[in-house]
Amino acid sequence: MSDQLNMMTTSERSVPARFFFPQLDGLRFVAFLGVFVHHTMPSSAEAWQNMLGSGALKGQLSIALGWFVGSGHMGVELFFVLSSFLITALLIREVEARGQLDVLRFWARRALRIWPVYFVVLLIAALTTWLGVPRQRLTLEAGAMFALFLGNWSVYWHGFPGSFASILWTVSIEEQFYIGWPLLVWWLGARRLLALSVALVLLAAGTRVLLIQQGGSLKELATHTVCRLDAIGLGAALGVLMHGPLKALRLPRLAGFALFFLGWLGLAVVARAVAPQTSAAHWALRVLPISPVSAALIVAAPLVSNAGYSVLASRFVSYLGRISYGLYAYHTFVLTLVVLLPFPRGAAGQLTRWAFAMLVTTLVASLSYRFLERPFLRLKDRFAVVRSGRS
């Protein structure tokens, strides 16, 4: 066990101030927006060309829109990096503040934050199955695995269930991380976490190599817990570095924007990686942690730069970031309803449907945050040692 856990007692230390980065709330919304766009718009240039019509300018616009939508899956990587960064940083600060780590209190905080929305979505999915809603069927086996936060393994072994609740497979991976990571922090201590983070990145890449050699599909690579450990490892590395070399580092504005740009430039490579290819380059793009590194650069940019990112930290975008968990969890449910409504064909109809679905999803998530999540968040504060964000 690390020497850090045998340092001063709680009474000898002061609890640090609230740990909060307003621009990261904005990035949470960006992460959701990427996933939402990916689920609501076509990702091929050909589909956009058919909607927009012919012409050189429209052709270039179709390519750009196809790339933008196709790279929306990066939102999941952003969520993983953000969660890992914040959780790791908070755990380290708790050890610094108290000389020890209360794992049970941590698990209680995570349950109060994650479980209410998670199980409400599962309940709605079960009800839609029972009522016989078309194209909605959550089997008993899949429902049980999702209820045990093994949803990603259910998808890995049996495919996506015919239910809007399948979106929760990513939350299952995060919950597995929340269960295991504090135990590793308690056991190893902060000093060894950086090496562990690097090991996670290598482990994820190695696992992808083995799965690809065994004929693993993109779905299997995406939903295998170990394959997603590079995003978690990079987020954890940021959390460690923010309490070490990066703690006092403030890069010039231009450097911060350069990091952000490099992250988004990585999206272009990732977008090409998801296109149908069989080349060795495509194989390498599946193995290398390009998406996680891109996400980590995007998260790191506002942390170490004076660039400001005022839009991300604005009151409205920050609020959307705070309700981003609800936005993410409910949006597929909303889409199952919106798809039944008549909208015009073509690009105009596509954008109208998108805007309407976004508006309804925001309304549902806002109501959920106000009446379901906030009461549990107030309970969560009772278990807090280092407070994070705003309730």
Is the Cβ–Cβ distance between 111 and 74 less than 8 Å?
A: no
pLDDT digits (tens, 9 = 90+) for 211-222: 988 988 888 999
Mean of pLDDT over the chain: 83
What do you get for the CA distance between the two ends of the chain, in Å?
Answer: 34
Q: Look at 376 and 51; give whichever has higher pLDDT.
A: 376
pLDDT of residue 37: 87
pLDDT digits (tens, 9 = 90+) for 184-204: 988 887 778 999 999 999 999
pLDDT digits (tens, 9 = 90+) for 11-66: 334 444 555 677 888 899 999 998 998 888 776 667 666 776 667 666 667 666 66
Rounded average pLDDT over 207-231: 92
Pair of tokens at residue 188: 């190893």
Task: Please say if the pLDDT value at position 6 is more than 50.
Answer: no
Confidence at 224, pLDDT banded by 50, 70, 90:
very high
pLDDT of residue 65: 67
pLDDT of residue 386: 60
Report for 22-26, 131-135, 200-204, 381-385: range of highest mean pLDDT: 200-204
Q: Look at 230 and 54; give whichever has higher pLDDT.
A: 230
pLDDT of residue 20: 64
Residue corresponding to tokens 């599909």? 217
Is the Cβ–Cβ distance between 198 and 233 less than 8 Å?
A: yes
Q: What angle do CA 336, 172, 159 make, to 5 degrees?
A: 60
State how far the Cα of 361 lies from the Cα of 335, in Å rounded to an integer.
Answer: 8
Instruction: List the chain domain ranges.
Output: 20-301+309-381
Task: Please say if the pLDDT value at position 347 is more than 70.
Answer: no
Per-residue b or e along 294-326, where b marks 16 or more CB atoms closer than 10 Å to that residue's CB: bbbbbbbbbbbbebebeebbeeebbbbbbbbbb
pLDDT of residue 93: 86
Task: Please say if the pLDDT value at position 142 is more than 90.
Answer: yes
pLDDT digits (tens, 9 = 90+) for 244-282: 666 666 667 777 778 887 887 777 666 665 555 545 556
Task: Please say if the pLDDT value at position 323 is more than 50.
Answer: yes
pLDDT of residue 134: 83
Task: Please say if the pLDDT value at position 145 is more than 50.
Answer: yes
Is the Cβ–Cβ distance between 95 and 101 less than 8 Å?
A: yes
Q: How far is CA 221 from CA 59, 212, 276, in A?
A: 32, 8, 15
| Helix boundaries (H) for 224-339 | 229-241, 253-273, 280-287, 290-304, 315-322, 324-338
Rounded average pLDDT over 128-137: 89
Confidence at 241, pLDDT banded by 50, 70, 90:
confident
Say how far residue 23 (Cα) sits from the centre of its chain.
15
Confidence at 7, pLDDT banded by 50, 70, 90:
very low
pLDDT of residue 229: 96
Task: Please say if the pLDDT value at position 176 is more than 80.
Answer: yes
pLDDT of residue 366: 98
State how far the Cα of 295 lies from the Cα of 71, in Å rounded to an integer.
Answer: 12
In sign, the C-alpha dihedral spanning 35, 28, 322, 111 is: positive
State how far the Cα of 160 lies from the Cα of 142, in Å rounded to an integer.
Answer: 9
| Helix boundaries (H) for the chain | 22-40, 45-52, 56-70, 74-98, 103-130, 140-147, 151-158, 169-188, 193-213, 218-223, 229-241, 253-273, 280-287, 290-304, 315-322, 324-338, 346-368, 374-381
Q: How far is CA 34 from CA 249, 293, 301, 342, 388, in A?
A: 29, 17, 18, 25, 24
Task: Please say if the pLDDT value at position 287 is more than 60.
Answer: yes
